[in-house]
Structure formats: structure tokens, C-alpha cells
Amino acid sequence: MTGPAVPDTAAERRTDGPPGQPLLDVRDLTVTYHSGKIPVYAARGVDVALAPGETLGMAGESGSGKTTVAMSLLRLLPAETTVTGEIRFRGEDLLEANWGRMRAVRWAEASVVFQGAMSALNPVQTVGDQIVEPILLHEKVGEKVARERARALLDSVGVPSRRIASYPHELSGGQRQRVMMAMALACNPDLVIADEPTTALDVIVQAQILGLLTDLVRDRGISLIMISHDLSVLASTCDRIAVMYAGRLVETGPSREVIRGPLHPYSRALAGAFPTLGDPASRLAPGGLPGDPPDLREEIDGCPFAPRCPEVEDRCRTGRIPLVEQGDRAAACVHVPGYDEVVRHG
């Protein structure tokens, strides 16, 4: 291979499988942690689909289940966790795959940019070694070729390639995050999962990283799942948004529409926490929600948001509130037009 590797097979790979098949199709995903004495119901009945090249943002606060869902896609959860449902990656159910197949999928086909780059990077290995490692593991190339690719990757993420010999603590926060992204792209995956990629970063560095992510994803035709609690970050970077609360999906839809006109009261509250500068409605009027998210160790009957919802009714407190579709949007709320029909038809 001459020169740095270019993902020339990216375009070809995108046509794998029957046309129109989603790259990722998650159905009824339910995750229960058994790490302590009491089981924690971290995710309940989550349905997510992602087309090739599409970007999806998963919004929610701590305890919403968004990181759980993302980690479960690559089966990165602790061994004692129960995971049920289907996770179809290019038609193949990953929950049924054996470990050999999972190892192959991990990183070569789907990779993760972890939260908190400082702890996710090994402090005693150079940055170059950490990028080269997955390349050597997954592809039959020599050390030299792998190093060349690492240099090219660092360039593509905006880190001078001479930094290949630096240790993580020698880099700034923004540079470490870029290195994480270079690592995630090392094996030319089809899917990248970015878990809170900009949370600890300042506004300007955040804008740089988001811009970089958008460019990389677009140039290489990668699908992206971005997890964040910041709706405005997701709205500016992703095509679609899925809002999670207490382990359940409460709203999905195109990101601009969800942010401008949220259907679910929780999405409305979440959007209100990030005011638009210049909007007189939020001037000296912070939006917030009293109370706390529910305890995930208890089985919740009815809508999990009911205790804090400003529009709660009696019927919200019992039974399961299904997702009601409205065009390409959906929300799990009794106030969504069309809810009654959905319930009636079962």
C-alpha cells in the first residue's frame, strides 16, 4: 500500500446488504444491571434505527440510559448484565454473535469515542502506540504501515503528526479528544459512537471538535451516534435526535424539529435548560424542573416522568405509555395527537 491509507472501500462498503436496510436496527432493547444486590433497570424497550451515513443524537441526563444503550451496542457492559431484545448491525443480531465475531466487529466495524479522554487514554503509552494498537489487532499490516496510518489519522484530526510520540499528559484537553477520535477511526469503521465528546471542553474547543467530527463523518460516510445532555450540541451536529428519560425513549425526530417544537414535556424542559441567546422568554427566567429523576431500581408503572410533569393526568400514572408516531417524529406522551387511536388499536 503506497502512502497513507485512504478509506477507498468506504463507499463500496456502504452498499453492503439490500438497499434501504438500516445500518443499525435496535428493537426492544432492555438492559438490567445486576452488579449490586438490587437490579437496576437501566433501559426498557428501546427502539433505535440508523441508516448508513446518518447521524443520531441521544439526549438525556445522568441515569437516562443513553450511555447504557450505546455501550450495549458493542456489548461493553459488565458480564452480569442482562440484555434482551435485538441489535441488528447490517442485518446480523449482535446479541447472538459469539465472542470471536464481537471482537472482529469491535473497532473494525464500530468504534467508540469515550467520555473523559484523560481517563480513557492510557497514561503510560504514547499516543502513537495507542492508535497503532487496534490497527495491528484487526488488520494484517506491518508496524511501519500502521505507523504511517497513525500519522495520517493525527493529521486528519488536526493534531501535528510529530505528536505521535507524545504522552497523553503532554497534550491539551482538546488535543486528547482529537486523539480519541483518531483512535476511533483507525480501522475505518462504519459506525462511531461518541459518548459526551465535548462535555468537559470549553465553548470554542467544543465548536472545533464538533466541526471536526461533522467533517470526518461526512467525508468518510460514517454513521454516528452522539450522546450528550446538551440538546443544542446534538441539534447542530445530528440529523435525528432521540430523547431518553429513566431508561425509556420518550421522543424521536429530526433534530431541528425536536428542538424547535418538542412534543414531550421532558424534551421541552430539557430544551429550556439551554436558552437561545436573544430569546426574551428566557431572559432572567431560567427553565428548570423540580424534583429528581426516578430511582431505576424500582419498577415504574406508567410514565416515568409523571411525578415531575407539569401536564400530568391520572392516566399517565398507570400502564405503559407507547410511542405515538407523527410523521417522522414520535413521542411517548398522552398529549400527543393520535395517542388515543394508538392505545385503542393496542
Partner 1 sequence: MAEPVLEARDLAVTFPARRGQGAARAVDDVNLALARGEVLALIGESGCGKSTLARALVGLIEPDRGEIRYDGKPLQRSRSGMREFRRHVQLVLQDPYGALNPRQNVHDAVAEGLRLHGQRAGLTRRVAEALEQVGMRPPEHFYDRYPHQLSGGQQQRVVIAGALTLGPEVLVADEPVSSLDASVRGEILKLFLSLRDRLGLAALVVSHDLGLAWNIADRVAVMYLGRIVELGTVEEVLLRPQHPYTRALLDAVPSTEEKESTAVLRGEPPDPTAIPAGCRFHPRCPLRATLPEDAAQRCLTDIPVLPAAVGDHQVACVHSDLAARPPLPVADPSEVTT
Partner 2 sequence: MSAPEQSPARETPVVEKAPSRLVPVGRFVVTVLRMPSGLFGVLVMLAFVLMAVCAPLFIHPSDLSVTQATGPLLSAPQHGYPLGTDPAGRSVLLLVIWGSRTSLAIGVMATALTMVLGAGIGLIAGHYQGRTGRLLMHVTDWFIALPSLPLAIALAAVLGQGATSITIAIGVTSWTGTARLVRAQTLAVEARPFIERARALGATDTQLITRQVLPNVMPLILVSSTLTVASAILSEATLTFLGLGDPTSVSWGSLLNNAFMQGAVTAGAWWYLIPPGIAILIIVLGFTLVGRAVEHALNARVSPR
119 burial class (0-12, 13-18, 19+ CB within 10 angstroms)? Answer: exposed
Interacting residues with partner 2 between 143 and 182 (CB under 8 A): none
How far is residue 214 from each of residues 3, 68, 204, 217, measured CA to CA in Å?
25, 24, 15, 5
Residue 101: contacted member of partner 1, partner 2, none (CB under 5 to 8 Å, by partner type): none
Cell digits for 14? 456502504
Output 10 or 200, the one with its CB closest to partner 1: 200
Interacting residues with partner 1 between 232 and 251 (CB under 8 A): 232-233, 235-237
**Of the ranges 78-86, 201-209, 225-233, 286-294, which one interacts with partner 2 (CB under 8 A)?**
286-294
How far is residue 265 from each of residues 149, 282, 302, measured CA to CA in Å?
47, 17, 15
- The DSSP secondary structure of 90-139, one letter per residue, reads TTEEGGG--HHHHHHHHHHTEEEE-SSHHHHS-TTS-HHHHHHHHHHHHS
| The binder of partner 2 chosen from 307, 317, 325, 343 (CB under 8 A) | 307
Number of helices and strands in the chain (H, E): 12, 12
- Residue 266 CB, nearest approach to partner 1 (Å): 8
**Of the ranges 24-32, 179-187, 286-294, 331-339, which one interacts with partner 1 (CB under 8 A)?**
286-294
What is residue 163's DSSP assignment? G
- With contact defined as beta carbons under 8 Å apart, do 326 and 314 qualify? no
| The binder of partner 2 chosen from 78, 291, 327, 337 (CB under 8 A) | 291
- Residue 306 CB, nearest approach to partner 2 (Å): 12
How far is residue 337 from each of residues 239, 303, 330, measured CA to CA in Å?
24, 17, 11
Residue 307: contacted member of partner 1, partner 2, none (CB under 5 to 8 Å, by partner type): partner 2
- Residue 270 CB, nearest approach to partner 2 (Å): 18
**Of the ranges 102-110, 202-210, 217-225, 285-293, which one interacts with partner 2 (CB under 8 A)?**
285-293
Question: How many Cα atoms occupy the beta-carbon half-sphere of 227 within 13 Å?
Answer: 23
Write the single-letter amino acid at 149.
R
Output 26 or 233, the one with its CB closest to partner 1: 233
- With contact defined as beta carbons under 8 Å apart, do 166 and 197 qualify? no
- Residue 63 CB, nearest approach to partner 1 (Å): 8
What is residue 302's DSSP assignment? S
| The binder of partner 2 chosen from 8, 12, 292, 341 (CB under 8 A) | 292
Residue 118 engages partner 1 in binding (rule: CB under 8 A)? no
Chain residues that interact with partner 2, rule: CB under 8 A = 36, 290-292, 307-308
Chain residues that interact with partner 1, rule: CB under 8 A = 61-62, 172-175, 202-208, 210-211, 229-233, 235-237, 255-256, 259-260, 269-270, 272-279, 282-290, 292-293
